[in-house]
């Protein structure tokens, strides 16, 4: 998990600033490639439940292959340590 922080000083009430950064209307800007999507499943609330997003984007084949190789190697190692064939 990564943590990102920044601050901005603006001459506007918090509700207006929030609307600029988290606008979710149907006319909000979207990536042009059509394959990259960010869907907000839960926008967060005052109770402390955070923002939940579902992101879809293309992954280079070489990166996907490397992740699969590591997964297979990790599975083999775990099975060996557990004594499972």
| Residue 5 falls inside a structural domain | no
Domain that includes residue 56, residue range: 14-82
Q: How confident is the model at residue 72 (pLDDT cuts 50, 70, 90)?
A: very high
Q: Which two tokens stand for residue 10?
A: 């603006």
* CA–CA distances in Å: residue 64 to residues 13, 36, 38, 68, 78: 44, 17, 20, 6, 21
pLDDT at 85: 65
Contacts of 44 (CB under 8 A, 6+ apart): 50, 51, 52
| Residue 39 falls inside a structural domain | yes
Q: In this structure, are residues 20 and 42 in contact, taking their beta carbons and an 8 Å threshold? A: no
| Residue 9 falls inside a structural domain | no
| Residue 33 falls inside a structural domain | yes
pLDDT at 79: 92
Number of domains in the chain: 1
pLDDT per residue over 9-63, tens digit each? 888 898 888 887 777 787 877 778 878 888 888 888 888 888 888 888 888 888 8
H or E element at residue 15: helix 14-21
pTM (2 d.p.): 0.41
Give the N- to C-terminal CA distance of the chain in Å, as an integer: 34
């Amino acid at each position: 998990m990564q943590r990102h922080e920044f601050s901005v000083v603006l001459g506007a009430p918090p509700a207006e600033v929030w609307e600029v950064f988290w606008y979710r209307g149907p006319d909000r800007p979207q990536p042009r490639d059509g394959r990259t999507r960010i869907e907000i499943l839960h926008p967060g609330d005052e109770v402390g439940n955070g923002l939940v997003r579902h992101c879809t984007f293309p992954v280079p084949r070489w990166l996907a292959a490397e992740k699969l190789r590591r997964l297979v190697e990790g599975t083999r190692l775990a099975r060996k340590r557990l004594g499972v064939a």
